[in-house]
Structure 1
Amino acid sequence: MTDLPGREPDLSAFIDIPGVRNLRDAGGVGSLRRGVLYRSGSFHTLTPEGAQRLKTLGLRTVIDLRSDAELELWPDLRHGLDHETLHLPTLPADRESVDRPWPEDQVSLYPFMAETAGPSLVAVIRRLADPGALPALVHCAVGKDRTGLTIAVLQSLLGASDAEIVDDYLLSNAGLGLLDGPTPYLDETGTERVSRPISAELLASSLAWIDAHHGSVPAYLAAHGTTEDELTALRAKLSA
């Protein structure tokens, strides 16, 4: 996977929801149809106007990939929305539970996510395949890294090419105002950090870890408990 310099990003998938960053339709990639799966940043600054616009999407499920600490500090706002929310954190809750250094930068984060996200990804797949789960939205803090990997795995299962997956993944740079470089933000502890643009190589490092350790995305998911019937049900629900 490589970046494609000079190509203008297709911004047609973005949806303007006041108080929610980086919200867009994840469909139109592979056989994933439009209008059933969305991706975004968190809802912790969702405005009443934004909730009214969000209501038009008809969401039945919102999957939150953030940590317990993030949810406690920045809980999603609803303003009367009646979707079900599932908390399926991508990263382990206990740093002591992993036998390798916790990632301190983007480069180390992506293979680490691939190594630890299996249970979350399996739970996401099972929920999306359930009757009545769609339309659904997946989010983390800003919809860039944890959401990026989760959506890439789902798009891969729906037959998307590497190029299609990367093009969609890289749209977060436009959605978060990162086309011109890093921007500062406050993390869940109140510490100022820097949000950095994503690149195709970052996502490639996650998928390379999966390939190196399991051979394919379906085999990786199977190692964490998914069945072929569950993947078939997912594809039937999400396919055009």
Structure 2
Amino acid sequence: MDLTDRGPAADHPRHVIGADRLLDVPGVRNVRDVGGHTTTDGATVRTGLLHRSGRLTDLTPEGARVLGKLGVRTVVDLRDPAEIDRWPDRLYELDAVTAHHPLLPQDGEDHYGKPLDEAYRLLTDTAAATLPPLFTRLVAPGALPALVHCAVGRDRTGIVVAVLLSALGVADRDIVDDFLLSNLGLGVLDGPQEYEDANGVVRLTEAVGPELITGFLATVRARYGSPAALLADQGLGEAGLARLRELFLAPA
């Protein structure tokens, strides 16, 4: 994790779709631009507006300069307060505002040892409360360009990006490809890696398959109609959704 990383590992090809999208930001893992995808109606998701990554705890001064060149104004941190206390982000001279939007339930329970499928169900259950305020922040004047991250930039970050891309009209196959790119970005295609959770417990990060993000999207559609409807109906509003599309889409 992100949450726990004991999800089912799938067989992954050595050639990973979108591998050239991964960026070198010293001290940060799994960095890439969310833009560049084509929507089902031929529009293009603008690049340079939103990046995704793992936590910025080990960001170096050189890495902060790279983020500065990317124009990052807002850093959206999806982690729990306990994670932030244990591994605070470093920004150095980066002129950016940090916004905390925890996606896991803030109910005092220990969610870090849960199997990934259960963790994703929790994230789905809280999505109506957590995601619209986050997207409201992104469409606020001056918020973009932004960077969104969790611990390793895969699960919680992957959900935010999947909702954004789906709401913009990107096909599920491209959303899945973007999600699976984290396997390469985290270096887990050749085997699991150890990490320490916020309670000091050593766990394993393993490669994941598409079922986690496709299952999340399927549940959102069953409950709300679509990720776009989730955002619009639960707080962003139709005007906010229209603004999101205006900001992020370059017409065909």
Query: Could you state the TM-score of these two structures normalised by the residue count of structure 2?
Result: 0.87
The offset of 1:92, in angstroms, is 1.4
Query: Unpaired segments of 5 or more residues in structure 1?
Result: none
2:60 to 47, 50, 55: 47
2:207 to 182, 197, 207: 197
1:69 to 82, 87, 90: 82
1:14 matched to 2:22? The reply is: yes
1:82 matched to 2:95? The reply is: yes
1:24 matched to 2:37? The reply is: no
Task: Work out the CA distance in 1 between the residues paired with 2:18 and 2:138.
Answer: 26
Change (3 A) 1:5 1:174: closer
Task: Work out the CA distance in 2 between the residues paired with 1:223 and 1:20.
Answer: 35
Query: What corresponds to 1:229 in structure 2?
Result: 239
Matching residue's letter, 1:52: R
**2:57–2:89 contact (8 Å) kept in structure 1:** yes
Matching residue's letter, 1:69: A
Query: What corresponds to 1:117 in structure 2?
Result: 127
Query: Unpaired segments of 5 or more residues in structure 2?
Result: 1-9
Task: Work out the CA distance in 2 between the residues paired with 1:196 and 1:186.
Answer: 14
Matching residue's letter, 1:84: V
Query: What corresponds to 2:185 in structure 1?
Result: 175
The offset of 1:5, in angstroms, is 5.6
* Aligned length in residues: 234
The offset of 1:80, in angstroms, is 1.2
**1:63–1:85 contact (8 Å) kept in structure 2:** yes
Task: Work out the CA distance in 2 between the residues paired with 1:5 and 1:94.
Answer: 36
Matching residue's letter, 1:25: D
2:176 to 166, 181, 189: 166
The offset of 1:145, in angstroms, is 0.2
CA RMSD of aligned residues (A): 1.8
* Partner secondary structure for residue 21 of structure 1: strand
The offset of 1:13, in angstroms, is 1.5
Matching residue's letter, 2:200: G
Identical pairs, percent = 47
The offset of 1:8, in angstroms, is 3.2
The offset of 1:218, in angstroms, is 2.3
- What are the superposed Cα offsets for residues 35-81 of structure 1, whole Å, 9 maximum, x if unpaired? 11100001011111111222110111110000000011111001111
The offset of 1:147, in angstroms, is 0.1
Matching residue's letter, 1:24: R
**1:66–1:90 contact (8 Å) kept in structure 2:** yes
Choose between structure 1 and 2: higher strand proportion: 2
* Partner secondary structure for residue 22 of structure 1: strand
* Partner secondary structure for residue 45 of structure 1: coil
Matching residue's letter, 2:178: D
**1:68–1:93 contact (8 Å) kept in structure 2:** no
Task: Work out the CA distance in 2 between the residues paired with 1:41 and 1:155.
Answer: 19
Matching residue's letter, 2:70: L
The offset of 1:210, in angstroms, is 0.9
Per mean C-alpha deviation after superposition, the further-off stretch among 144-153 and 108-117 is 108-117
Query: What corresponds to 2:6 in structure 1?
Result: none
Matching residue's letter, 1:136: A
**1:13–1:26 contact (8 Å) kept in structure 2:** no
Task: Work out the CA distance in 2 between the residues paired with 1:118 and 1:82.
Answer: 31
Per mean C-alpha deviation after superposition, the further-off stretch among 154-163 and 122-131 is 122-131
2:163 to 135, 140, 153: 153
Per mean C-alpha deviation after superposition, the further-off stretch among 168-177 and 106-115 is 106-115
- What are the superposed Cα offsets for residues 135-156 of structure 1, whole Å, 9 maximum, x if unpaired? 1111000100000000000011
1:215 to 218, 225, 231: 225
**1:46–1:78 contact (8 Å) kept in structure 2:** yes
Task: Work out the CA distance in 2 between the residues paired with 1:128 and 1:73.
Answer: 26
Change (3 A) 1:204 1:185: same
